[in-house]
Amino acid sequence: MISRRRFLQAGGMGALGSALTARAPQAAAQAPANAKGQKRRGHVPVRTLNGWSLPHVMKDGVKEFHLVAEEFEHEFAPGTVSKCWGYNGTTPGPTIEAVEGDRIRILVTNRLGEHTTIHWHGIILPSGMDGVGGVSQPHIQPGETFAYEFTLKQHGTHMYHPHADEMVQMAAGMMGMFIIHPKEPEPVPVDRDYCFLLHNWAMHPGTYRPDPAVMVEFDLWTFNSKVFPAIDPIVARSGERVRVRMGNLSMWNHPIHMHGVQFHVTGSDGGRWPQSQWRSEATEIVAVGQTRDIEFTAVPGDWAFHCHMAHHTMNAMGHEIPNPMGVDQTGVADEIQKMLPGFMPMGRYGMAEHQDHVDAGHHPGPRNTLAMMVGKGPYGNIEMGGMFTLVKVRDDLAPGDYSDPGWYKAPQGTVAWKVSGDPDYGNPPRRG
Ligand SMILES: [Cu+2]
């Protein structure tokens, strides 16, 4: 109950928190209350950023899902489309949601030009249902439909992906999340439950298909196959308890960083951890093949939420360019302009000017290729791309409202202000 009271107080609801604490632990164990003191049974459905959950049908007490592996056109953000592979028309495929103890059947139809399988990553099941082509089953040939059927014996944040020509099929976008809710209500319930997958893509500038042979120099870094500014915001009402579940099926580890709070790392493939194992962090590495759940109490504002690898918050860029930092290019620019009339020298003082040049049309760039840094906020260019979104928390948001509330209006006196325009202002100490 201690941490429960702490989170309610952090949300400015101290009085309510004390009242709840006083109201006997056994009631809480039966039907946990949420931040607004309402009793709740069962779980909150997960909210897949830019995605969806797969509906099922009940057949003889079995929850039956149907995934279709296929190719389609996918948009990473307005301005870049690609032929991708995924499930049921989307990358990532739809999130599968079920409850611990469920018997489930998943039909998998292969509409690709080559064979496939699906591996249920982190899920405890019979060996023959594990989906490793050639080991646990024959491959699913083009046109065939296979059934996987097993009983869910655990809860947690899991994933699914092919285990056949993996390098190609995952590079093309085949993956999804598999969320198993616990059978019993959670002792510390959450009000909002988000999930997404981390991935990387070798979408070389000017091309329309991911290159599966690339191992290091990727061009696009995505949350659920979208890049900033096309990634949905994580929206919450002040004081709500928010969980964000992340899975990584890319080829890099991603230190995911959130501004404005110390979140708790509360779970993984191993389910929700005992509260004694929760850790306070500001950045959590989600390693390749891992899942991590973080939870926090929503604090009003617009808060950046991103991978902390700086290149992973950029869109397509040339990786093998000479370093122009500190180089006076004025003489050279005249010469180059004779051959390339649109050429503009850039990067002497840094790269922030890149966004202004692109916005002004000076750098049209290759076809079907997003600018490296994009986005406009209330105070100017955001200069981000890739794995970046915002946590948007407002006092007046209705419970269950996930729509983008626009930009935060900071209370007067709470925004950093300009003191001087003189570079020699003041007397800052310098060592030595
Ligand atoms: Cu990263």
pLDDT confidence of 40, banded at 50, 70, 90?
low
pLDDT at residue 334, as a whole number = 79
- Please tell me the distance from the alpha carbon of residue 325 to that of residue 254, in angstroms, as a whole number: 27
Share of the chain above pLDDT 70, in %: 88
* DSSP label of 259: S
Distance 5 CA to ligand 1 centre (A): 34
Question: What is the H or E stretch that residue 335 is in?
Answer: helix 330-339
User: Distances from the Cα of 118 to the Cαs of 2, 284, 427, in angstroms?
Assistant: 42, 28, 64
**How far does the centroid of ligand 1 lie from the alpha carbon of residue 387, in Å?**
7
Q: Cα dist. 364→205, 206, 358 in Å?
A: 12, 12, 7
Quote the ligand 1 centre to 131 CA distance (angstroms).
28
Q: How many other C-beta atoms are found inside a 10 Å radius of the C-beta of residue 131? A: 26
- In angstroms, what is the span from residue 300 Cα to ligand 1's centroid? 26
Among the ranges given (23-27, 32-36, 113-117, 374-378), the one the predictor scored with the smallest mean pLDDT = 23-27
Distance 153 CA to ligand 1 centre (A): 32
Residue 164 Cα to ligand 1 midpoint, Å, equals: 26
User: Which tens digits make up the pLDDT trace of 254-274?
Assistant: 999 999 999 999 999 999 999
CA of 89 to the centre of ligand 1 (A): 26
CB 227 within 8 A of CB 221: yes
Task: Kindly state the tokens that stand for 276.
Answer: 């004694």
Q: Which residues contact 13 (CB under 8 A, 6 or more apart)?
A: 35, 239
C-alpha span between 50 and 223 (Å, rounded): 9
Count other C-beta atoms under 10 Å from residue 71's C-beta.
16
Residue 361 neighbours by CB under 8 Å, 6+ apart: none
At 277-306, the pLDDT tens digits run 999 999 999 999 999 999 999 999 999 999
Beta strands across the sheet bearing 283-286: 234-237, 388-394, 301-307, 254-258, 283-286
Region 304-314: mean pLDDT is: 95
Residue 363, pLDDT score: 67
312 CA → ligand 1 middle, Å: 5
Q: Which residues contact 185 (CB under 8 A, 6 or more apart)?
A: 31, 32, 40, 41, 42, 43
Kindly indicate the confidence band of residue 1, based on its pLDDT and cuts at 50, 70 and 90. Answer: very low
Compute the distance from residue 99 Cα to the ligand 1 centre, in Å.
31
CA atoms within 13 A on the CB side of 341: 0
Closest by CA position to 170, among listed 134, 119, 128: 119
Distance of CA 210 to the CA centre of its chain: 19
- The class (CATH top level) of 47-181 is mainly beta
Please report, for residues 57, 92, 154, 188, 385, the alpha-carbon distance to residue 112 in angstroms, rounded to integers and kept in the order given: 25, 16, 32, 43, 31
Ligand 1 centroid from CA 264, angstroms: 20
Centre of ligand 1 from the C-alpha of residue 202, in Å: 14
Share of the chain above pLDDT 90, in %: 73
Q: How far is the CA of 252 from the centre of ligand 1 (A)?
A: 7
Each domain of the chain, given as residue ranges in start order, spans 1-30, 47-181, 317-368
- What three-state secondary structure class fits 326? coil
**Which of 299-308, 312-321, 334-343 is most confident?**
299-308
Q: Are 36 and 237 in contact (CB under 8 A)?
A: no
Q: Which pLDDT tens digit goes with each residue over 372-428?
A: 888 889 999 999 999 999 999 999 999 999 999 999 999 999 999 999 999 999 999
More confident residue, 84 or 370: 84
In whole angstroms, what is the distance from residue 37 CA to residue 241 CA?
A: 12
278 CA distance to ligand 1 middle (Å):
23
One-letter amino acid of 24: A
Q: How far is the centre of ligand 1, averaged over its atoms, from the C-alpha of 74 (Å)?
A: 21
Euclidean distance between CA atoms 301 and 395, whole angstroms: 9
Check pLDDT > 70 for residue 16: no
| 152 phi, psi to nearest 5 deg | -80, 115
* Alpha-carbon gap, residue 181 to 43, rounded angstroms: 7
Expressed in angstroms and rounded, the spacing between residue 284 Cα and the centre of ligand 1 is: 11
What is the 66 CA–ligand 1 centroid distance (Å)?
A: 32
Buried b (16+ CB within 10 A) or exposed e, 373-387: bbbeeeeebbbbbbb
Query: How far apart, in whole angstroms, are the C-alpha atoms of residue 353 and residue 359?
Result: 10
323 pLDDT exceeds 90?
no
If you measure from the C-alpha of residue 287 to the centroid of ligand 1, how many angstroms do you get, rounded to a whole number?
10
Cα of 403 to ligand 1 centre, how many Å?
A: 26
Q: How confident is the model over 137-143, as a mean pLDDT?
A: 98
User: What is the band of 350 on the pLDDT scale with cuts at 50, 70, 90?
Assistant: confident
The pLDDT confidence band at residue 361, using thresholds 50, 70 and 90, is confident
DSSP assignment letter at 358: H
Compute, in angstroms, the gap from residue 91 CA to the centroid of ligand 1.
Answer: 19
| Start-to-end Cα distance in the chain | 53
- Report CA(362)–ligand 1 centroid distance (Å): 29
- Give the per-residue pLDDT at 178: 98
Q: Quick one: pLDDT at residue 365?
A: 75
